Amino acid sequence: MTPSLLFIFITVFVDLLGYGIMLPLLSFFVQAQGGGAVIAVALSSLYASAQLFAGPVLGALSDRFGRRPVLLICLLGTSLGYHMLGLADSLPLIYLAVFINGLTGANLTTAYAYIADVTTSENRARSMGMVGAAFGLGLMAGPALGGLLSRYGLSVPAFTASAIALSNVIFGFFV
Residue type, 118: V
Q: What are the DSSP calls for 49-105, one per residue?
A: HHHHHHHHHHHHHHHHH-HHHHHHHHHHHHHHHHHHHHH--SHHHHHHHHHHHHHHH
Q: Give the model confidence (pLDDT) of 118-168 as tens digits.
A: 888 888 899 899 989 999 999 999 999 999 999 999 999 999 999 999 999
* Angle, CA of 40, 43 and 49, to the nearest 5°: 150
Q: What band does 22 get if pLDDT is binned at 50, 70 and 90?
A: confident
CATH class assigned to 3-174 = mainly alpha
For residue 1, is pLDDT > 80?
no
CB 174 within 8 A of CB 7: no
SS3 category, 32: helix
Residue type, 4: S
Nearest alpha-carbon partner for 104 in 132, 124, 88, 85: 85
- Ranges of each domain in the chain: 3-174
Query: Which pLDDT value is given to residue 118?
Result: 86
